[in-house]
Structure 1
């Protein structure tokens, strides 16, 4: 049986957030994760309206209880969002939360002032994207170098483009790679477990920083460790952490973000709304991963790029091309809200430094065939390995494949297509001496003459000059 990655990742994320009971929604199709027993509303009058409306609705319903309806957080969060408890978080199973569903239904009519949304689930924002990574990293020989190959531009502190990467932290020995000489930021909170084995997603932020630095050497890259816990954080906390990042480092030229969530709606995440509105008022460009769900469902905050021309000017949403650069990768999200695609399959960058080899145990087993129905040797099925969390553990005696990382890795996901595109914008700024990243992004897209095919549509393809395409192999026989 093919491993059910979402359910495997659900357990992994729940262990990393033991004090936050989670549910999956909107049903077992698992479009997103969210906090059980809690909804979000804007502070002040709207929060009071939500609380009163839900309490009245629950009081009139024989199968619901209004006893748990109360404010769950003070009105002090800079995001302007309040958590309201509407049910017992210990009730029910992980397949959904009836209390939250009924609370949302209570505010459905009317939707609010001029269609303004008043209530939301508290979604889990994750670098895994729908809790399912594009794949897990594979060791890459040092002799083959990185892909993209580092460009030859020189680093100039006076003109370097500022790039803020909001992700996992940097591995402790990242400076052993000369490519990362101009990278600063937070360290990974915990790299290995008690047995010295590299934990899942460790190196994600380091890998991304290496991609930006390779495509655009004239950059000053700062990495924040906002997403250390299995690459996941609650929406209500994420908005606050985004503000913390820019408060600490200032608003950069470019933010590279490889995280998000779908929410079953087309108007964004309530918990990051305040940050996104301030971003729009600034000059910063947000380059955001489109997600690895192989879906056209909007994925936030990348999908802000498709809301209106105002948002398109300040958000570049990026999908992933497969290793030959000619078609979309099997896992990549797609749709009109994805503005461009960049290489995102089997890229090569630094996972750790080179101080000493470190073991990694695979968490997910590969599939017998592409889980999204594609007919090439994609990362769903190749290279083959058995993972610790997968359902196959019963037939393998709980054993999983282990590898050693000594610096570089191959890794796939829109997580990595986004920083490639961010690097291209930064490189364009340096080459054209353009100080406005949004102007540079418009110029880059309008001058682009390369296209790829994604789901039958011809889409803008941003391929770095130093990126080396890898021929696509036929599907691996089961």
Structure 2
């Protein structure tokens, strides 16, 4: 994959989080890049945090001339998440000491027989740090895809689904499928010029897919991610707890966010939440990510762990024709099921007033992931404001108008398809256990496809249809 799109998005996130010093992590595969906070590591509270502090302090005092105060706990800690932030290095200097600290702790970790420390990763919605594409306007006359399934909403029997994402646009209830959807409002849908912000409507789009696949569902959307669709790992666990505490543990959590890491371990910042999730009956349905990589994307990759396999389903995306993996979808043995995720149609904005949007990224002449079908890497053709190509040529960024509906791609949107199918299975069969409903749904799935030489399970909603070809240029 060409790495420039990741770098474009990194710059966008960094500008929208000016108080956080971000760095780009090394990875042998350019598609597996990750972002993290400079100068900070995470450890579990108590004895492990003390071991980390002592080991790092001794290493840097001996090798780098730092004073003891340059290794310190940073701010109040949350007993609920069980995580300690440890700041490393002189904050007045620009150098990032985290890679050196991690190397210094390998010996201590070997003695303990477990990982003691990790970076403070940036968790992001699954279309942003390496976007599959950006939304495309769809006329109101075009039906959603997946289309609305049959059946009616009944508050007494509805399955409860929590969407942890960006918030709801203010006019979301003007879209009939979202009449029963509740939750947090999107804080700012447009910028000072009235232009739709990048990723505004992401949570609304997801809620629309859920309501279409499973009409008898109580969907609650929590605005957990920042304006840039990103949050630090050290804060994410606490925000997940807040989301489930507010309304109680739901049947299903639909999560279209995550991050890769340097190794194959999970996220220390989510340890406590994942342990508590395991003890509930709630099912976490999580996006596999859009790096076209086999690098584990957390928390979806917990589905590949025997400890959490029962409580997590990881979802990859199928291409627009539904016959193979989408060009952008992550893959690997930790991805449990694939569902339609390319060129789905749902609600993006309110239906009261059309709103303009400027494309952020330019499309490519060929698929940046090396696929040979007309994927969302290439079409519809447009030039974006962040593009290096635009800066060199002076090309004008393309603007479109959204009037409610949009077509969008990503494992972000395959995820609510699967969450909706599990919810529909629950209500159709009066099944109270979402994990049992998941097992029954996968056991009855007749379809599979081949992804990188392996046969994988496929779920396609009855109301989903292959997306038609798109125009090669967007209207300006």
What is aligned with 1:271? 269
Contact 1:324–1:472 (8 Å) recurs in 2: no
The equivalent residue for 1:71 is 73
Q: Structure 2 residue aligned with 1:100, among 77, 88, 98?
A: 98
**Preserved CA contact (<8 Å) 2:160 2:252:** yes
User: What SS is found at the alignment partner of 2:317?
Assistant: strand
Q: Which position in structure 2 is the counterpart of 1:46?
A: 48
The reply on whether 1:438 has 2:435 as its aligned counterpart is yes
Return the match for 1:427 from 420, 424, 430.
424
Q: Secondary structure at the match of 1:221?
A: strand
Q: Where do residues 409-428 of structure 1 align in structure 2 (5 Å cutoff)? A: 409-428=406-425
Unaligned residue ranges in structure 2 (runs of 5+): none
* 2:37 alignment partner, SS class: strand
Q: 2:365 aligns with which of 349, 355, 368?
A: 368
Using the alignment, how far apart are the partners of 1:469 and 1:136 within structure 2? 19
Shift of 1:311: 1.1
CA contact (8 A) 1:448 1:462 kept: yes
Partner of 1:55: 57
The Cα of 1:17 is off from its aligned counterpart by: 1.0
SS in structure 2 of the partner of residue 265 of structure 1:
coil
Greater mean alpha carbon deviation, residues 393-402 or residues 217-226 = 393-402
Q: When the two structures are superposed, what TM-score results if normalisation uses the length of structure 2?
A: 0.95
Change over 3 Å in CA distance of 1:60–1:325 after alignment to 2: same
Q: Go from structure 1 to structure 2 and tell me whether the alpha carbon gap of 1:90 and 1:348 turns closer, same or farther (over 3 Å shift).
A: farther
Does the Cα contact within 8 Å between 2:327 and 2:375 map onto a contact in 1? yes
For the structure 1 residues 440 and 459, does the alpha-carbon distance in structure 2 shift closer, same or farther, using more than 3 Å as the test? same
What's the secondary structure of 1:399's corresponding residue? Answer: coil
Any conservation in 2 of the 1:267–1:307 contact (CA below 8 Å)? Answer: no
1:74-95 alpha-carbon deviations (Å, 9 max, x no partner): 23342110110112456447xx
From the superposition, tell whether residues 129 and 401 of structure 1 become closer, same or farther in structure 2 (CA, over 3 Å).
closer
**Match of 2:177, SS?**
helix
After superposition, give the CA deviation of every residue in 1:245-265 in whole Å (9 maximum; x if it has no partner).
011111000000000001122
- Provide closer, same or farther for how the CA distance between residues 156 and 112 of structure 1 changes in structure 2, counting only shifts above 3 A: farther
After the TM superposition, which parts of structure 1 deviate over 3 Å for at least 4 consecutive aligned residues? 27-30, 62-67, 88-93, 471-476
Using the size of structure 1 for normalisation, the TM-score is 0.95
Query: Who is 1:232 aligned against?
Result: 230
- Whole-Å Cα distance in 1 between the matches of residues 69 and 331 of structure 2? 43
1:183 aligns with 181
**Contact residue 21 and residue 89 of structure 1 kept, 8 A:** no
Structure 2 vs 1, CA of residues 259 and 85 (structure 1 numbering), >3 Å: closer, same or farther? same
RMSD: 2.0
Whether contact under 8 Å (2:126, 2:411) holds in the other structure is: no
Report 1:438-457 matches (<5 A). Answer: 438-457=435-454
Q: Secondary structure at the match of 2:351?
A: coil
Alignment of 1:195-344 (within 5 A): 195-308=193-306, 310-344=307-341
**Contact 1:362 / 1:400 at 8 angstroms: preserved in 2?**
yes
Give the match's secondary structure for 1:23: strand
Q: Deviations over 1:105-130 (max 9, x none)?
A: 11111316752211000000000457
- Are 2:457 and 1:460 aligned? yes
Q: Counterparts of 1:204 and 1:386 in 2: how far apart (Å)?
A: 21
Q: Is the 8 A contact 1:153 1:217 kept in 2?
A: yes
Q: Is the deviation greater in 262-271 or in 106-115?
A: 106-115
- Contact 1:33/1:130, CA 8 A, preserved across alignment: no
- Following superposition of structure 1 onto structure 2, how do residues 374-385 of structure 1 map, counting pairs within 5 Å? 374-385=371-382
Moved more, 219-228 or 449-458: 449-458
Encode CA deviations 1:278-298: one digit per residue, 9 max, x unaligned.
000001000000000001111
Q: Once the 2 structures are TM-superposed, how far is the Cα of residue 227 of structure 1 from its aligned partner?
A: 0.8
Q: Is the 8 A contact 1:378 1:475 kept in 2?
A: no
**How many angstroms does 1:2 deviate by?**
6.7
Cα deviation digits, residues 159-200 of structure 1 (max 9, x gap): 000000000000011111011011000000111000000000
Look up the match of 2:119.
121
Q: How does 1:119-198 map to 2 (within 5 A)?
A: 119-128=117-126, 131-198=129-196
- Whether the aligned pair in 2 keeps the contact of 1:358 and 1:404 (CA below 8 Å) is yes
- Structure 2 CA distance for partners of 1:473 and 1:452, relative to 1, 3 Å: farther
**Is 1:3–1:364's contact at 8 Å kept on the other side of the alignment?**
no
**Post-superposition offset of 1:454:** 1.5
Uncovered stretches (5+) of structure 1, i.e. residues with no partner: none
Partner-residue secondary structure (3-state), 1:317:
strand
Matched residue, 2:5? 5
Distance in 1 (CA, whole Å) between partners of 2:3 and 2:382 is 12
Contact 1:122–1:234 (CA under 8 A) maintained in structure 2: yes
Aligned-partner SS, 2:308: helix
Q: Once the 2 structures are TM-superposed, how far is the Cα of residue 270 of structure 1 from its aligned partner?
A: 0.4
When residues 11 and 176 of structure 1 are mapped into structure 2, their CA distance, relative to the original with a 3 A threshold, is same
